[in-house]
Amino acid sequence: MYRYMSMKQNDEAKAVVEEFQKFFLVEETYELDDDEDESESNTTMADDGGHRRRKRAWTHSSCSDWGHSTYYNIIQSSSQFNSDKSSHNRRRHCLAYKYIGVSKANAKMYGGMFAGRHSSNGRYKLFTKLVGRAQLFSKTFDVGTILSYRIKSSSGSITQRNYMVIAGKSLLDSKSTSCTTRTWAYEHNFYIPIYKINIWVASIDVGAQIRPRFEMNFICTSSSNTVITKVQPKAILRVGASAQASLAKLVRGGLTIGINLNFYVETVTESVPCIAGYYGYDPMSISIEAWYQFRSKVKVQFWPPKIKWTWGKRYTWRPSSLKWKITSGYRRSWLSRRCDGSTPLGPLLTNAAKKNCVDYSLVNE
């Protein structure tokens, strides 16, 4: 279709070509090793054969300032960050985000963990949050939010909440006062329009079916003087799309999209207060391809003559394809166990907590 319109000289055809060139700007092909990831800020593709710089850490991370920069307004408002600071004079915390994918199809995953305690009134807060946003071509949309916190007020009352929302739809809001273990998994499908291209009598409506899935394991253990929560939230984003149109039954073209992205964190928060965590992902892939075919006559019978119309070889527009994948899963320490500066480091957990709650490799550095 693109080739056909490129050969035309009239203004309408030139306008169609320009629209397609705006939509499909570059050709990208990536294939990552088992321990390599591709991110907007820490990896680039060079022109000389596609050599990459490797860097496997978070795109951005801060474990020194609770509420650092406007990156993390998505985790909490500035007023809530300040309230946490003033209400818990002993605290440990981390904020980070990770860019996954490429320019036309990507996700940003934001994570935060906090453990705070007031030294005189016994108040504490244990907090974990994972938020996802995604971009597909020019469209940006919310994937969802997973939130878990346990708060003990200065009066002694306890609030424990686990919350999950996908694409603006609240699917979980569990509140409790007991220290329990639970597992949840929810998904929600929705459609977003991306682009529409008119070609005389035909048009291609390009849209995508978005299929996010959120999972969370929540484990809580307590002893006489310590409460420990282990939270394992995971976000999975799948996107599928297929659209096509034909022009005068002589040429047809289309677009196919297949995306599978995922990300998870594991946090351990203690009322001491201490924190520890991991982050990682399973294999991922992105495939976007624009294609076209010409129709041709084929003689299927010599006499009496019989002609059949058939679609020829399927071509991929150049430059207009994108393929990206990570072939193996990856898990990395976010932060080894850290406690408030006035608290000695060392094993503080009961045997039951070690068995049921914490990967104990986090405890000793």
Q: pLDDT tens for residues 127-183?
A: 999 999 999 988 899 999 999 999 999 999 999 999 999 999 999 999 999 998 999
pLDDT of residue 288: 86
- The reply to whether the predicted model has a pTM over 0.95 is no
Whole-angstrom Cα distance, residue 330 to residue 234? 14
- Mean pLDDT score, 349-357: 38
pLDDT of residue 318: 53
Share of the chain above pLDDT 90, in %: 51
pLDDT of residue 301: 65
Find, among 261, 243, 260, the residue nearest to 252 by Cα.
243
Is the pLDDT at 235 greater than 80? The verdict is yes
The alpha carbon dihedral of 329, 335, 336, 339 has a sign of: negative
pLDDT of residue 201: 46
The rounded mean pLDDT for the chain is 78
**Residues facing 260 on adjacent strands:** 238, 285
